[in-house]
Amino acid sequence: MSETVISLENVNIYQGESLVLQDVNFKVEKGEFVYLVGKTGTGKSSLLKTLYGELSLKEGKANVVGFDLSEMDWKKVPFLRRNLGVVFQDFQLLTDRTVYDNLKFVLKATGWKEEKLIEEKINDVLDKVGLKSKGFKMPFEMSGGEQQRVDIARALLNSPKLILADEPTGNLDPETSDEIMQLLFQIVEDYNATILMATHDFIVINRYPSRILKTERGLVFDSSNPS
């Protein structure tokens, strides 16, 4: 039986007082890879921010990895985020510490205490993204593609049910973008994870076709539901 990871029913999304997206209805099941596309300013980021609890849900019903977003408050947001991985376009790594210490910082912040388990987990995710021998490096010593892999490793630390990737290939050359896409699809396969990826990159979408959600004219259109 499939497990629903994201479910939105009749959701209206606001940025401040402005209605950005209205009557949003879609579900994403476990193990799906879904693109989120749309021109700048059409509500992609607002939708992602709603899903990870940065924008509060005012109208409609939404459930993300088992959390009811209408009941979200600042105390519950950290618990929601422990079940999510977020991958950013600009990596958002701590520049004053090594790759290993970047990952350790996240584990400590989410309640991990046992040093041996922390070490095992970090080695595991670095191995997964092909950076097993790079834990000692500082972010500035790495290429853009390597930094993006660190960002993906960080998103995998708490074995999330859902990974939200915001333009993960946006700053990368085509060859590196290809590597990152292969890695993301591999993660879906290996972890039975779910990935929702916002992107402007139609070359990537054509090379790695999958279901598409599109923000346009204040609405969200779903390629799996042509009506």
Tell me the pLDDT tens digit for each residue of 5-21: 999 999 999 988 899 99
pLDDT of residue 1: 65
- The answer to whether the predicted template modeling score (pTM) of the entire model surpasses 0.85 is yes
> What is the distance between the alpha carbons of residues 82 and 85, in angstroms, rounded to a whole number?
8
CATH level 2 (architecture), domain 1-83+162-227: 3-Layer(aba) Sandwich (3.40)
The domain limits of the chain are: 1-83+162-227, 94-159
Tell me, rounded to whole angstroms, the distance of Cα 145 from its chain centroid.
17
> What is the distance between the alpha carbons of residues 106 and 9, in angstroms, rounded to a whole number?
32
| pLDDT of residue 73 exceeding 90 | no
